[in-house]
Amino acid sequence: MQSGQVLQQRYQLQTVLGKTQGRQTWLATDLTNQSSVVVKLLVQNPQLQWQDIKLFEREATVLKNLQHPRIPRYQDAFSLDTPEGSDLPWFGLVQDYLPGTTLQKLLESDARITEKQARAIALETLQILIYLHELNPPVLHRDIKPSNLLIGQDQHIYLIDFGAVQNRVKAERSTMTVVGTYGYTPLEQFRGQTVPASDLYALGATLIHLLTGVAPADLPQKKLKIQFADLVSLSPNFRTWLEILIEPTLEHRFITARQALQTLQTGINKPLKSISQPLGSRVKLQSSPHQIIVKLPAPKIRILSMSLTLALMFALFLLLRVLTFLSDFMSPIIFYAISSLWIVWGIILIYNIIRYLSLLRYQFVQFNKTQFIIEKQIYGICYHRQKRPISDLQAVQQSVQKSQAQSFLPQSGKTELDIVTLQTAKQTYNIGIELTASECAWLAQEINDWLKLIK
């Protein structure tokens, strides 16, 4: 590609803004309205892999559905004709051009920011992350760093470069595609288990880089935690807030961007206790120094889905009655065929009865100082019970599960269900099927807090 070249008979390339292996970013002119745009190109080369194409397509798909004033607006996506001798086409993505300076440019000029400036950057970035993380499904950026945060001419912060973006297909259920930048990427992301708190870690590492002038990868570590306090003078509250952001252990970090923002604004650094039970939650929790008992509600019955199912079953019943009556005047083969249809109808009926009975089950989880117990009950009758020593419990955390795994549950249109996982060395136990993400964050907090007390 070269300056002056016109793509799609519309976008005239002007200046290279960035260039990495397999990718080029150009400032271009949209000839239809003479506006400036950014054109990102995935360029055919021998090192190009299929995963690169998938990431590029995912970026375009996600950006197309984002509407936020601090995220460059998607305009267009296209593929170029396959150049001669190449096996794959080139791909293009067009976004609004935002004039400004990246925070990386400030670092390259040896500039450092003050605590006041760091707070302002954090506040605006967290507001963007709240928008992304609270979408359904949540969107994870996965590559927050100084070069991907831009100070616009209006002095506001913009989040750019969604090349590593991912809809929240969790961790243990997804393929091991590790993206991110060393020094800004938390441990769970290297394991392919990216969560919203992973973006918070990257933000914390970015702020530390801006405050100290030293890249996070070059700072000393103690028990895998970045050590920065001796290099910069900060107020105790802000330093503690930053330390919570970069906790290597996920359970010790802020869980949501909203929680991190509220804590920064109030100055009260309570990384877990600041999460309260969401309004309208039907989860019942009883806690004492000796035990904690959680009663998890049955999924809500979807009246429309049930009504349609009953109507369909009744219509099939009437149809079969009519066919049965008519079969008396037909050959035996037709009679046996209709009898087989009755058997099929019976199987469908039994399946739907089991399917909707599953909506009446409650889940009870009990923790005491020696063991944890998970029970499933219907009408007070326990039909499944699991018991494990409390010493086997390694982690309790918010997670998601593909909804298809719940074969008897009527689907709500979601491809993923928020859950809380109880992790042991040999097995993972899922509780709280169909809770909201905020309920799962709160419940994981309460269980972790109680476990800390008994230790």
Task: State pLDDT tens for residues 53-79.
Answer: 777 777 788 888 898 999 999 898 888
- pLDDT band of residue 253 (cuts 50, 70, 90) is confident
Residues 79 and 135 in one domain: no
52 with 154, same domain: the answer is: no
For position 380, what pLDDT does the model report?
A: 67
The enclosing H or E element of 322 equals helix 303-327
Residue 361 has pLDDT above 80, yes or no: no
Domain limit, last residue, from 214, 244, 266: 266
In the prediction, which pLDDT does 355 show? 66
User: Do 185 and 323 have their domain in common?
Assistant: no
Residue 374 belongs to some domain of the structure: yes
Higher pLDDT, 327 or 70: 70
Q: Among candidates 272, 255, 69, 268, which has minimal Cα distance to 159?
A: 69
**283 occurs within a structural domain:** yes
Listed range (125-139, 215-229, 295-309) with the worst mean pLDDT? 295-309
Does 276 score more than 50 pLDDT? yes
Work out how many domains the chain is built from and give that number. Answer: 3
pLDDT band at 362 (very low <50, low <70, confident <90, very high): confident
257-266 vs 236-245: helix crossing angle, rounded to 10: 170
Residue type for 279, please?
L
End-to-end CA distance of the chain: 62
More confident residue, 222 or 417: 222
Residue predicted with more confidence, 56 or 144: 144
What value does the mean pLDDT of the chain take? Answer: 82
Q: Could you tell me the CATH number of the domain that includes residue 88?
A: 3.30.200.20
Report the pLDDT value the prediction gives residue 405, as an integer from 0 to 100: 43
- The predicted pLDDT at position 260 comes to 92
Inform me whether the pLDDT recorded for 455 exceeds 70: no
Q: What is the pLDDT of residue 250?
A: 83
At what angle are helices 236-245 and 115-133 packed, to 10 degrees?
40
Residues 231 and 283 occupy one common structural domain: no
In this structure, are 79 and 114 located in the same domain? no
Neighbours of 358 (CB within 10 A): 17
Question: Tokens 């086409």, residue?
Answer: 89
User: Same domain for 15 and 106?
Assistant: no
Is 1 among the domain residues?
no
- 441, pLDDT greater than 70: yes
Q: Which residue has the higher pLDDT, 455 or 109?
A: 109
- Which entry of 143, 161, 199, 418 is annotated as an active-site residue? 143
> Has residue 230 got a pLDDT over 80?
yes
Query: What share of the chain has pLDDT > 70, as a percent?
Result: 82
Strand partners, 222: 225
Lowest-pLDDT range of 52-66, 108-122, 306-320, 401-415: 401-415
**Is residue 13 included in any domain, yes or no?**
yes
Instruction: Say yes or no to pLDDT of 174 above 50.
Output: no
Mean predicted confidence (pLDDT) in 361-380: 85
Asked whether the predicted pLDDT for residue 221 surpasses 80, the reply is yes
Examine the pLDDT at 432 and tell me if it is beyond 50.
yes
Give domain status of residue 271, yes or no. Answer: no
* Domain-terminating residue out of 215, 241, 266: 266
Q: Are residues 115 and 258 in the same domain?
A: yes
Shared-domain flag, residues 86 and 131 = no
pLDDT tier at 124, thresholds 50, 70, 90? very high
Strands 381-389 and 416-424, bridge-based pairing: unpaired
Question: Among this protein's residues, is 110 annotated catalytic?
Answer: no
Q: Is the pLDDT of residue 340 over 60?
A: yes
Q: Please determine, for residue 163, whether its predicted confidence score (pLDDT) is greater than 50.
A: yes
212 and 314 belong to one structural domain: no
212 assigned to some structural domain: yes
Q: Provide the pLDDT for residue 299.
A: 64
pLDDT band at 17 (very low <50, low <70, confident <90, very high): confident
CA dihedral 258, 260, 262, 267 (to 10 degrees): 180
Lowest mean pLDDT among 161-165, 227-231, 442-446: 161-165
CATH code where residue 239 lies: 1.10.510.10
Q: Do 178 and 85 share a domain, yes or no?
A: no
Q: Which amino acid appears at position 245 of this protein? A: L
Bridge partners, 395 (sequence order): 423
- Average pLDDT on 133-144 reads 88
Q: Where are the alpha helices (DSSP H) in 109-245?
A: 115-133, 187-190, 196-212, 236-245
Using pLDDT thresholds of 50, 70 and 90, give the confidence band for residue 444: confident
Question: Are 109 and 248 contained in the same domain?
Answer: yes
Both 196 and 147 in one domain: the answer is yes
Domain that holds residue 317: 277-455
**pLDDT value for 379:** 67
> Would the CA dihedral through 406, 411, 414, 415 be positive or negative?
positive
Last residue of a domain, one of 246, 266, 286: 266
